[in-house]
């Protein structure tokens, strides 16, 4: 558990995630987020919410790196996270879709309809 917290703190620092982002995304006071980063004792429920939010923020940042996104509430964070997952899935599928189209062209495959 301590290791998880350290990696979460490392992620906050590496991505330079503002504590206010984490605070707004989790509905946890900014001072508590600061205490988390300073490795001070917090209720386990707060620690879990912060860890979860930072994991989601990291994922969102990696998918939407070129875009600036605001997280003003847990709902916006969750919505952005779901959008990032969908975008990632679409990016992963795009090369397969192109390859399938090329195969269809190469073999002149047409769809079978009844």
The pLDDT of 20-31, averaged and rounded, is 93
Domain that holds residue 58: 2-107
Check residues 53 and 100 and name the one with the higher pLDDT. 53
Asked whether residue 113 is assigned to any structural domain, the reply reads: no
- Predicted TM-score of the model (pTM): 0.60
Number of domains in the chain: 1
Asked whether residue 59 is assigned to any structural domain, the reply reads: yes
Q: In the block, which residue shows the tokens 């982002």?
A: 21
Asked whether residue 41 is assigned to any structural domain, the reply reads: yes
pLDDT grade, residue 1 (50/70/90)? Answer: very low
The predicted structure's pLDDT at residue 107: 74
The set of residues, in sequence order, having a beta carbon less than 8 Å from that of 20 and lying 6+ positions away, is 30
pLDDT tens readout for residues 60-92: 888 776 566 666 678 877 888 888 888 888 888
The predicted structure's pLDDT at residue 111: 55
Name the maximum alpha-carbon separation found in the chain.
66
């Amino acid at each position: 558990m301590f290791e998880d917290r350290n990696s979460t703190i490392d992620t906050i620092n590496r991505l330079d995630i503002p504590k206010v982002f984490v605070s707004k995304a989790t509905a946890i006071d900014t001072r508590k987020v600061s205490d988390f980063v300073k490795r001070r004792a917090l209720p386990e429920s707060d620690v879990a919410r912060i860890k979860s939010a930072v994991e989601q923020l990291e994922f969102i940042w990696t998918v939407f790196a070129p875009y600036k996104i605001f997280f003003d509430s847990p709902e916006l964070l969750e919505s952005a996270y779901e959008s990032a997952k969908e975008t990632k899935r679409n990016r992963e599928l795009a090369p397969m879709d192109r390859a399938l189209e090329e195969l269809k062209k190469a073999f002149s495959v047409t769809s079978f309809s009844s």
